[in-house]
Chain A
């Protein structure tokens, strides 16, 4: 079993998702079955194969290096759950 209780807690922590015990158990089962299933990729010989990260066959054009100031802070803050004096507001992080 690749994923045990410790591993799922570690991943959940990295993902910033709180899991209750029932959920942890379900995800341990799900993730192990998915990881067993993807294991079949080990059958494929990938020696000297370059990993493919961008599939596009077109040449990605460069844009001109000019700055532009859209000054949209009000718009950006419009959907914030909490804001204060032009900033996003979050719970206190320093004592």
Chain B
């Protein structure tokens, strides 16, 4: 199956080689043929056709006019329900539009549907969703694979060519890991680049919106569209957004890449070490200087993350109490009963686990030992990167410690599941931009991913290195 790129499709629409209606009907057909993958929590053909009708009446020029985009069901949308893959928001119809989706609508894109995710973005396999697993489109018959998570539905939507791009969110790897598992491009920009207004919050000091696409050029076009300052998100950054696509430059001659020795972890499959070496060799041939760097606190990133993220989640998810929106239990003899039953019945197992652990580490007597300690280690992790970036322009690592694994494989042991994020979490704690691009295959012909990290707000360098590696791999 040859997949058209966003860039090419924009040209074809411009030269009238294809109409907006023809283009989207093509995608609608594929979405209906692939219903078994359970990519979407919400899909309505009628809704898509209505959007096509409206765009056909609109004569203004728009950058993404008619482009089919899938939206992670964590972004509030006025035209479609928003569930965060949770029973507790099963019937939630936002009365407002998130910043990111509003930007995409303003540019004329068509929302094909809301994609599945781990409940409240907590997971690494899209298997904690109230609406069932998403199946990785690269699965062989009778051997269903996980698409990664939490943005597994969005990654799968791009991989199965059900859209030309998709939104995701990344707290500890939720864009980069599923991109790697599904063989697509996924970028998490710098913390603060995209406003989080209208995105259901998980861990506010880490959450960031980003993009999935078929290739790096498309990601550069889409990221520019969703980035920007917004006063309704107090952490949104007031920085100039460059035209990443126009500025793409695959000439890396004279640049320096950092290779962190701490990312060579015991037990990492040979194939993963191999593609990492291959990527380094490609860069060396392009005139990039290879610099061995050290990020000494890397091994503490995961335990730090699994204190900070649940702590913030326990606070953010306090708002789901059965009063203002969403599900309310029928067993409501008193106000406290209503809260406790609503939350017991409305949240799934992993979400409850994280709320409980978060509540514990924030509770009186334990705050200093856990939460404050984790914030201090987080400072050391961020300082490691600051020092490293004095010696290099970007950093290259593998994205994930494995290729896509069978559905449900890692469900029982939470710590084993958390290890999926081992290469992605450190950059999240440091707020850095990171991209995953497909690079090489494992012995079962499943895609593997390479991660490129850059300095704060240096998405351009990340894109340049990514496009350079991508072009040499194709």
**Residues on A close to B: CB < 8 A?**
3, 7-8, 10-12, 14-19, 23, 27, 30-31, 33-35, 37-38, 40-44, 46, 49-61, 63, 72, 75-76, 78-82, 88, 90-91, 93
Contacts and interface: CB of A to CB of B under 8 A. Distances in A.
Interface in B324-342: 324-328, 332-341
A14 B314 CA distance: 10
B170 interface: no
27 contacts: A16-B343, A17-B352, A18-B341, A18-B343, A33-B414, A37-B306, A41-B377, A46-B373, A49-B376, A51-B372, A51-B375, A51-B378, A51-B379, A53-B375, A60-B235, A61-B229, A72-B95, A78-B93, A79-B92, A79-B326, A80-B324, A80-B325, A88-B324, A90-B338, A91-B332, A91-B334, A91-B335
B335 to A, nearest CB: 5
Contact of A38 (B239, B306, B376): B306
Given A56-B431, A61-B238, A79 B95 contact: yes
Nearest to A43: B300
A44 B300 contact: yes
B355 A17 contact: yes
B356 A17 contact: yes
Contacts of B238: 58-59, 61
Contacts of A46: 373, 376-377, 380
A93 B323 CA distance: 14
A31 B431 contact: no
A10 B365 CA distance: 13
A17 B431 contact: no
A52 to B, nearest CB: 4
A93 B339 CA distance: 13
A12 B376 CA distance: 27
B323 A80 contact: yes
Contacts of A54: 205, 235
A54 B378 CA distance: 10
B397 to A, nearest CB: 19
Contacts of B374: 38, 41
The 5 closest A-B pairs by CB, nearest first: A51-B375, A55-B431, A79-B325, A58-B237, A81-B328
Contacts of A75: 95-96
B19 interface: no
Contacts of B234: 60
Contacts of B429: 55
A11 B379 contact: no
A41 to B, nearest CB: 5
Contacts of A37: 303, 306, 415
Interface in B218-270: 229, 231, 234-235, 237-239
Contact of B343 (A17, A55, A57): A17
B27 interface: no
